[in-house]
Structures are given as structure tokens and as C-alpha cells.
């Protein structure tokens, strides 16, 4: 689906009746705010309340951080996700990201905002920025899934939307790489063309899926090197 087709699709969504993207049920008669019908929403598995404060990994101890975040220092002060990356949510993310299913967008934004308020409501980011796509991948895909999420999240949380990062070079798909290769793949992948836009700010970085954290690490390091005061991260799902 090209850029023009996706723009028309988004316009159609605004005019069309509210439909559950998961099962296509008409939501006109339901008082459900989130673009899923009540039945689909109740069947979802969300991340538990007890989770790592830096990446959202479920915890079964009284510790605040998971082992991975203890052993791998993170360049951000807070992080979370709304769902585990399995079951229907993983399928919906792939449909959104690769199939142009932007009808899931409002649902994802709502759940991310709820997760942020519930677990990091005391944190005070000033701006929301997405993980950028390289221009070639953006042209092929037609839209940046993280940018749409970041725009929606900024509105939902009442923050500035600030697309501060630029993809400096094309990288291999992270999902296809082993953990040790991900960091190398992303080394110096991001830059901040206008450092003055982030100087002294607390910035919330948005992506669709948090896996090892290599992408978030590279992005947050670029922002900090450009003068950001601090960073935090959020994703739809924790893999």
C-alpha cells in the first residue's frame, strides 16, 4: 500500500462507523473506548502489574528491575510496554506494521498511555519522539508505525510531539538478528539533526516492540549526546 493509498485509508477510518479491528464487530452500540469490542478486549493478556521499571518484563519478585536490565545498564530512566508480544497482539502489531492495518492505532495508543500512567505517572517527559525509519524503508512501507504511535501518545498524554531523530543509514531488520549482532547493526544508526530541539529536555522514545533494547539504546544515546536531559522508553509490546 503506497503513501496515497494509506492516506485515503486513514481518511476512510475517520468517516467509517467504529468497527472492532480484531473481529470487525460494529461498536456503535457499545460504550467501549479503545476501538476493540468488549469481548476481544476482555480476552487480551496484558503485562502484569509487577514488572521491570525499565523494560516492562514481568517480575515475580519484589525487585524493581529484571536481571537483564541489572546486567545491561540502560541509558533511560523509565520504560514499559502494554502487552507481551505473543498471542493476538503480536499478530495485530505485524498487521499494523506490515499490512497497513492502521485501524489498530487508537487501541495501541490508548493501551500505551494507560501503561505509562499506571507505571510511570510520576515521570514528567516533555516531548515524545518516535524511532525513525530510513527513508528507503519509509518509502517502501508508506508510513512509520512508530511515528503514528508517538503522535497519538503525545496527544493522549498532553506532551509535545518531537520527531527529533534521523536514521543515519539503513540497517538490517532487527528481528532477523541475534542479540549480539543487534547492537553492532545499530551502531551510530541514529542522529539528531537539530540538537537545539532536544537540549535540556526529558524525552519519551516510542517504538512498536521492545526486544533486547538495542534499538532504544542507540536512539536514547543519540538523544543524550545531542543534549537531552534524560530519556524514557515505551512500546506496545515486550518480546
pTM: 0.87
> What's the mean pLDDT when you consider all of the chain?
88
Interval 191-212 mean pLDDT = 98
CA distance 66 to 50: 11
Residue 114 pLDDT: 96
Pairing mode of beta strands 166-167, 230-238: unpaired
pLDDT of residue 21: 92
pLDDT digits (tens, 9 = 90+) for 19-68: 899 999 888 766 555 678 988 998 899 999 999 999 999 999 888 999 99
Summarised one tens digit per residue, pLDDT across range 67-126 is 999 999 999 999 999 999 998 999 999 999 999 999 999 999 999 999 999 999 999 999
Contact (Cβ atoms closer than 8 angstroms) between residue 151 and residue 161: yes
**pLDDT of 181:** 63
| The CA-based dihedral angle spanning residues 101, 126, 228, 63, taken in that order and rounded to the nearest 10 degrees | -80
Say yes or no to pLDDT of 208 above 90. yes
Q: Is the pLDDT of residue 174 over 80?
A: no
Q: Give me the domains of the chain, ranges plus CATH numbers.
A: 50-238 (3.40.50.2020)
Residue pair 33/111 in contact (Cβ under 8 Å)? The answer is: no
> Using 50, 70 and 90 to split pLDDT, how confident is the model at 16?
low
Check residue 169 and give its pLDDT.
Answer: 77
pLDDT at 178 over 80: no
Sign, Cα dihedral of 133, 165, 89, 109: negative
61-73 pLDDT, tens digit each: 888 999 999 999 9
Q: Tell me the pLDDT band of 11, cut-offs 50, 70 and 90.
A: low
Question: What dihedral do alpha carbons 178, 180, 186, 188 form, nearest 10°?
Answer: -170
Amino acid at each position: 500500500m503506497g503513501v496515497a493509498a494509506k492516506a485515503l485509508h486513514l481518511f476512510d477510518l475517520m468517516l467509517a462507523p467504529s468497527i472492532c479491528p480484531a473481529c470487525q464487530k460494529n461498536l456503535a452500540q457499545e460504550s467501549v473506548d479503545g476501538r476493540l469490542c468488549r469481548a476481544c478486549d476482555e480476552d487480551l493478556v496484558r503485562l502484569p502489574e509487577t514488572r521491570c521499571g525499565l523494560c516492562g518484563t514481568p517480575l515475580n519478585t519484589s525487585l524493581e528491575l529484571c536481571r537483564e536490565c541489572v546486567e545491561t545498564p540502560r541509558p533511560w530512566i523509565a520504560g514499559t510496554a502494554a502487552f507481551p508480544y505473543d498471542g493476538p497482539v503480536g499478530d495485530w502489531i505485524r498487521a499494523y506494521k506490515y499490512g497497513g492495518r492502521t485501524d489498530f492505532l487508537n487501541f495501541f495508543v490508548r493501551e500505551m498511555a494507560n501503561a505509562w500512567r499506571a507505571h510511570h505517572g510520576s515521570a514528567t517527559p516533555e516531548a515524545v519522539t518516535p524511532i525513525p525509519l530510513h527513508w528507503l524503508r519509509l518509502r517502501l512501507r508508506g508510513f512509520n508505525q512508530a511515528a503514528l504511535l508517538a503522535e497519538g501518545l503525545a496527544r493522549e498524554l498532553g506532551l509535545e510531539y518531537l520527531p527529533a531523530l534521523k536514521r543515519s543509514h539503513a540497517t538490517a531488520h532487527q528481528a532477523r538478528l541475534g542479540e549480539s549482532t543487534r547492537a553492532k547493526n545499530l551502531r551510530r544508526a541514529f542522529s539528531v539533526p537539530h540538537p537545539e530541539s532536544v537540549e535540556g529536555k526529558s524525552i519519551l522514545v516510542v517504538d512498536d516492540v521492545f526486544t533486547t533494547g538495542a534499538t532504544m539504546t542507540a536512539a536514547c544515546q543519540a538523544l543524550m549526546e545531542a543534549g537531552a536531559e534524560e530519556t524514557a522508553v515505551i512500546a506496545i509490546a515486550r518480546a
